[in-house]
Chains A and B, each alone.
Chain A
Amino acid sequence: MNEPTADLNHPQLPRRPLGPPLSEPSCWHDIRVTVNGAPVCAQVESRLLLVDFLRHRLGLTGTHVGCEQGSCGACTILVDGVGVRSCLTLAVQADGSDVRTVESLAESGELNRLQRAFHEEHGMQCGFCTPGILMSMTALEESSEVIDDDAIMEHLGGNLCRCTGYVNIRNAARRACLRERSRPVDEGADRDA
């Protein structure tokens, strides 16, 4: 419990392409990014995907790859506060930006309200899609958009989940994001036993 998120300045994390690199040194770039609040400087090859940079160079494996085709949303992260598919983004494109991943959510060590809602509403089964969904919802929460049911449905529309059938995901998202309401608008899977 309460494991700190990976120490991004740990000396053992590779800062440079490991041999053999993915491309000639002429195609390497120095990037500076803030990842979950920590400044990171690294050298990356031009074709390195942002998701691979996060997962395999920085060890932040909470961001998942479900398709590498931009269609499942499992790899969703926040870049400068906006939800982005890290499988369709090159690491070099993140230069100068603020990147946040699922590992940043339980800031205080405790699960945040959104995470708690997914637990309480059983909004996850295998949990593979969950980080992407949490980040899509975080993007909504932090945006200036009016958060109503349509906005929630719209933001969840880009994330695939194969396990839950979405009913409990909707309930969790509503519970966390529709602040003024204590219960989700829709009762979802009513029991009539």
Chain B
Amino acid sequence: MTPEEEGPAPFIGRSIPRVEDDRLLRGQGRFIDDLQIEGMLEVAFLRSPVAHARIHEVDLTAAAGLPGVVAVYNAAALVGRVEPLLNSEELRIPEGIRSTIDPVVRIQPMPLLASGEVNYVGQAIAMVVAESRYLAEDALEVIDVRYDELPAVIDPEAALEEGSPRVLLEAEDNIGIHLEHGTGDVDQALRSAAVIVEDTFASQRYVPSPMECRGIVAHRDPFSGRLTVWSNTQTPHRVRGHIASCLGLPADDVHVVAVDVGGGFGQKGILVVEELLIPLVAQDLGRPVRWTEDRQENLTAGSHAREQIHHITAAADESGRLLAVRDRFVVNLGARNMVGLVVPYNSLCHLIGPYRVPNVQIEATGALTNTMFTSPYRGAGRPEATFAMERIMDRLAAKLEMEPAELRARNVVTPQEMPYQTGLLDRRGLTQQYDSGDYPEMLDRAVKMIDLPRVRTEQQKARVDGRYVGVGFAMYLEATALGPFEGAKVSVLPSGRIRIHTGAPSQGQGHRTTFVQIAADALGVEMGEIELVAGDTATIPFGVGTIASRALVTAENAIHQAAVLVRQRILDSAAELMEVDPADLEIADNQVVVKGSPGSAMSLAELMRAIPMTQGGSGRDGLSEVSYFQPPNYATSSGLHAVVVEVQPATGRVEILDYVVVHEAGRIVNPQIADAQIVGGTAQGIGGALLEHMQYDEAGQPVTSTFMDYRLPTVDTVPDIRLAEVVCPSPTNALGVKGLGEGGAVGPPAALANAVEDALSPFGVVIHSCPLTPDRLWALLRAGRATER
């Protein structure tokens, strides 16, 4: 049954104002650094100042004697106590991928504190626990470490060369991942192609940079003896599992609570060593302990992202129909392979995006380097793939002398072809299938919104005046609703109010509003009567978390299922007590009412009170249900960014004249929140296209370790963004919803690079990478002018 057939849904689809705002506007949020527990200790880490070295004895004696220092730890203090960190959930290789593709995936577990060798600047070597952060940092100054420096490898392609120094002494080489996958026969297709273009397109290294850095508080509760951990994680149940196995505790004795989280974007979605060390210290000392990451730590030793180099070839017939795509790409994994195939495989299975490509061959290699490790960041491999694919599409259009929008129109999969199979395997190792979408309509809308014919006319006129205007498109898909499951518990409380528990917490996405909208519809009660508690492991046994554009689809469907069951329980048990047929009852104003006779009613509170007094009956287990939703397939969202820019050749400055995003993400639960997710993601993508670049020098020193050097977009970077929406409800779930959290960030680098290249086409400039800073563009222009002469 589709939701439409159930009658009008009052809350889904409405821009309900957010219930979370009030507290936050008053300064009464509870972020990790806001927690105050009597007697709490603070932790500071000594981190490696060099990219690669052998380290000899870490002398803690002087530090231990300083005022306020309570404990000091080095690797030796952990020997025999804890295992190195492995993100086991991310490292599992699905059976289909193993049997068909047989990838090389080498894992290098991360020691909680470095012993013997450091492999990147920022690696934790020692930990000081003191009465305050000031005193803990003082003690770092007197810790003595001797470093015997080793050669550092920073460039991922250099790392793969024969004879390159090893990044990790115990590894056999610098390869973390290698796989090849494809469909059809690319060589054959290339032989018959009318046009072939090939080029190299690279995505630079980013730092996700949530405004709140990471943090964790751990405390052994003196009453229960259980360990309580507050973390600003995106995945509390996973954190619980890791802490429990690290400390040898039953998972039930570790209680993880996600507090208010100041943005995550993936950086808070993977486990880091600090998340294990702080609970360990709390167990050891029997006192509450906190670590709050500072910004320099976050920029250098919080996880990094993106950095990929794609050598891509596209072939087409004379009318522009794609015949084949071949891509050989290298991912810079950093000092260890921490998340296995997640990012490279996501790049692989999003590369061809909305296009029909009969022959595909992709080779992915993950290189180890002496840099911070990389992990998923909003988009997680999609922006990098999209940058390569959408850039080569524009190169192909240029070669065919065809309007880039027209080339795209000739190649996109049509709604009639849905569900569409690409011939590749998806991340689960199953046949990749797009469930729904309308890519021709999206193109049409974008072309109309920016008024492409007018832009082309103005472009010509502007050139006469020495002004350079260009237009760029970028299309992408987003396989959302990653499994394996998410759960929800919906309960009627003694007061008659409803409480929902789920494992997927919010880092700003507004779950307390959107999740409650779904429950209110399913239960037939007002939103004000329902509250959400998300990310508290004591309240629901299992959960996955808020990553990979999955929370809305997986958690909301779980909530929907559980709420439908609870509604039926309410009606059944009320019917027994009121001695009527459940079909004659309805829920209105938090009461169970006999249809047509509003006088005969029972409030939910009365019902709750009556249940314990009644023997047997439908309500005997209480009015509460737990339900888990397992997505049967990915729900494929899509987006199209169209941007018009003007570039000043004299300075290399890029000005955005118009920015349009057409998106398709199934049925929209809360349009205002959904739009804001798209805009927020787009702003992050624009940041990467124009400003952001995490850089190392040749010795492996990070040179962008403050926000002065790692430049985030500010209020004047991001233009007003015009949005349009195409709706194709997903057949993969009862609500018809799809995820959209990451999409906005995927399009901007490709769209802006395409637009800038178009603007500068009279100079013969080709854009191979971002950010498109004035100095980089100026250098390209100078080189372009030189070849012109």
A interface with B by C-beta (< 8 Å): 1, 3, 18-20, 22, 47-48, 55-56, 59-69, 71-72, 74, 101-103, 105-106, 111, 115, 118-120, 122, 124-131, 134, 153, 156-157, 159-170, 186-193
**A168 engages B725 (CB within 8 Å):** no
Let me know if B184 is at the binding interface, CB within 8 A.
Answer: no
Contact of A71 among B25, B265, B507, B706 (CB under 8 A): B706
**B449 engages A192 (CB within 8 Å):** yes
**A193 engages B26 (CB within 8 Å):** no
- Given the known A-B contacts A120-B17, A124-B21, A190-B723, are A163 and B212 also in contact in the complex, defined by CB atoms under 8 Å? no
Distance in angstroms between the alpha carbons of A126 and B21 in the assembled complex: 9
Contact of B260 among A120, A127, A170, A187 (CB under 8 A): A127
Residues of A within 8 Å of B221, CB to CB, are none
| Chain A nearest CB, measured from B372 CB (Å) | 18
Pull 18 A–B residue pairs with CB atoms less than 8 Å apart, ordered by A: A20-B68, A64-B262, A103-B27, A115-B26, A122-B18, A124-B24, A126-B211, A126-B508, A127-B25, A163-B211, A164-B676, A164-B680, A165-B682, A167-B679, A189-B679, A191-B675, A192-B445, A192-B723
Let me know if B605 is at the binding interface, CB within 8 A.
Answer: no
Residues of A within 8 Å of B715, CB to CB, are 153, 156-157, 159, 166, 169-170
Let me know if B718 is at the binding interface, CB within 8 A.
Answer: yes
**B26 engages A66 (CB within 8 Å):** no
**A162 engages B706 (CB within 8 Å):** no
Look across to chain B and name the residue whose beta carbon is closest to the beta carbon of A67. Answer: B295
Residues of A within 8 Å of B17, CB to CB, are 119-120, 122
**A165 engages B508 (CB within 8 Å):** no
| Chain A nearest CB, measured from B669 CB (Å) | 14
**A22 engages B132 (CB within 8 Å):** yes
- Given the known A-B contacts A22-B134, A192-B449, are A115 and B25 also in contact in the complex, defined by CB atoms under 8 Å? yes
Distance in angstroms between the alpha carbons of A167 and B744 in the assembled complex: 14
Residues of B within 8 Å of A67, CB to CB, are 295, 706-707
Residues of B within 8 Å of A129, CB to CB, are 211, 262
**A64 engages B24 (CB within 8 Å):** no
Contact of B212 among A3, A47, A64, A189 (CB under 8 A): A64
**B132 engages A162 (CB within 8 Å):** no
Residues of A within 8 Å of B716, CB to CB, are 153, 157
- Given the known A-B contacts A162-B265, A165-B679, are A119 and B720 also in contact in the complex, defined by CB atoms under 8 Å? no
Contact residues, B647-683 vs A (CB, 8 A):
671-673, 675-676, 679-683
Contact residues, B289-332 vs A (CB, 8 A):
294-296
Residues of A within 8 Å of B67, CB to CB, are 20
Residues of A within 8 Å of B724, CB to CB, are 191-193
**A72 engages B707 (CB within 8 Å):** yes
**B262 engages A68 (CB within 8 Å):** no
**A111 engages B708 (CB within 8 Å):** no
**A188 engages B706 (CB within 8 Å):** no
Q: Is the interface of A mostly helix, strand, loop or mixed?
A: loop
- Binary interface encoding of chain B residues 1-44 relative to chain A, with 1 for a CB under 8 A from any of its CBs, else 0: 00000000000000001101110111111110110100000000
Look across to chain B and name the residue whose beta carbon is closest to the beta carbon of A3. Answer: B28
Contact of A126 among B210, B681, B721, B722 (CB under 8 A): B210
Look across to chain B and name the residue whose beta carbon is closest to the beta carbon of A193. Answer: B725
Distance in angstroms between the alpha carbons of A56 and B131 in the assembled complex: 13
**B707 engages A126 (CB within 8 Å):** no
| Chain B nearest CB, measured from A68 CB (Å) | 6
| Chain A nearest CB, measured from B31 CB (Å) | 7
**A166 engages B211 (CB within 8 Å):** no
Contact residues, B701-738 vs A (CB, 8 A):
706-708, 712-718, 720-725
**A127 engages B262 (CB within 8 Å):** yes
Residues of B within 8 Å of A3, CB to CB, are 26, 28
Distance in angstroms between the alpha carbons of A128 and B24 in the assembled complex: 8
Distance in angstroms between the alpha carbons of A191 and B430 in the assembled complex: 37
Interface size band for B: 35 or more
**B683 engages A68 (CB within 8 Å):** no
Residues of A within 8 Å of B263, CB to CB, are 125-126, 128, 162-163
Let me know if B203 is at the binding interface, CB within 8 A.
Answer: no
- Given the known A-B contacts A106-B26, A127-B29, A163-B263, are A71 and B707 also in contact in the complex, defined by CB atoms under 8 Å? yes
Let me know if B261 is at the binding interface, CB within 8 A.
Answer: yes
Distance in angstroms between the alpha carbons of A152 and B549 in the assembled complex: 34
Look across to chain A and name the residue whose beta carbon is closest to the beta carbon of B707. Answer: A71
- Given the known A-B contacts A102-B27, A111-B26, are A118 and B706 also in contact in the complex, defined by CB atoms under 8 Å? no
**B36 engages A131 (CB within 8 Å):** no
Contact residues, B465-483 vs A (CB, 8 A):
none
**8 further contact pairs, Cβ within 8 A, besides A55-B33, A163-B680, A188-B721:** A20-B131, A47-B134, A64-B212, A124-B21, A125-B510, A128-B262, A164-B680, A191-B675
Residues of A within 8 Å of B449, CB to CB, are 192
Distance in angstroms between the alpha carbons of A62 and B18 in the assembled complex: 19
- Given the known A-B contacts A118-B21, A167-B679, are A66 and B211 also in contact in the complex, defined by CB atoms under 8 Å? yes
Distance in angstroms between the alpha carbons of A102 and B509 in the assembled complex: 22
Distance in angstroms between the alpha carbons of A126 and B673 in the assembled complex: 12
| Chain A nearest CB, measured from B575 CB (Å) | 37
Residues of B within 8 Å of A47, CB to CB, are 134
The 4 closest A-B CB pairs, nearest first, are A62-B27, A165-B683, A128-B262, A126-B508
Residue in B24, B712, B716 with the greatest tally of chain A CB atoms within 10 Å: B24
- Given the known A-B contacts A20-B68, A72-B707, A163-B680, are A126 and B212 also in contact in the complex, defined by CB atoms under 8 Å? yes
Distance in angstroms between the alpha carbons of A48 and B132 in the assembled complex: 11
Distance in angstroms between the alpha carbons of A60 and B706 in the assembled complex: 26
| Chain A nearest CB, measured from B644 CB (Å) | 16
Residues of A within 8 Å of B24, CB to CB, are 124, 127, 130
| Chain A nearest CB, measured from B423 CB (Å) | 33
Residues of B within 8 Å of A1, CB to CB, are 22
| Chain B nearest CB, measured from A123 CB (Å) | 9
| Chain A nearest CB, measured from B217 CB (Å) | 13
Let me know if B135 is at the binding interface, CB within 8 A.
Answer: yes
- Given the known A-B contacts A3-B28, A69-B295, are A119 and B508 also in contact in the complex, defined by CB atoms under 8 Å? no
**B676 engages A168 (CB within 8 Å):** yes
Let me know if B347 is at the binding interface, CB within 8 A.
Answer: no
Contact residues, B429-458 vs A (CB, 8 A):
445, 449
**B18 engages A189 (CB within 8 Å):** no
Distance in angstroms between the alpha carbons of A111 and B28 in the assembled complex: 13
Residues of B within 8 Å of A191, CB to CB, are 671, 675, 723-725
| Chain A nearest CB, measured from B691 CB (Å) | 12
Distance in angstroms between the alpha carbons of A67 and B21 in the assembled complex: 23
- Given the known A-B contacts A22-B134, A166-B683, are A61 and B672 also in contact in the complex, defined by CB atoms under 8 Å? no
Look across to chain B and name the residue whose beta carbon is closest to the beta carbon of A102. Answer: B27
**A111 engages B679 (CB within 8 Å):** no
**A125 engages B680 (CB within 8 Å):** yes
- Given the known A-B contacts A3-B28, A189-B722, are A162 and B135 also in contact in the complex, defined by CB atoms under 8 Å? no
Distance in angstroms between the alpha carbons of A174 and B211 in the assembled complex: 23
Contact of B720 among A160, A187, A193 (CB under 8 A): A187
**B31 engages A160 (CB within 8 Å):** no
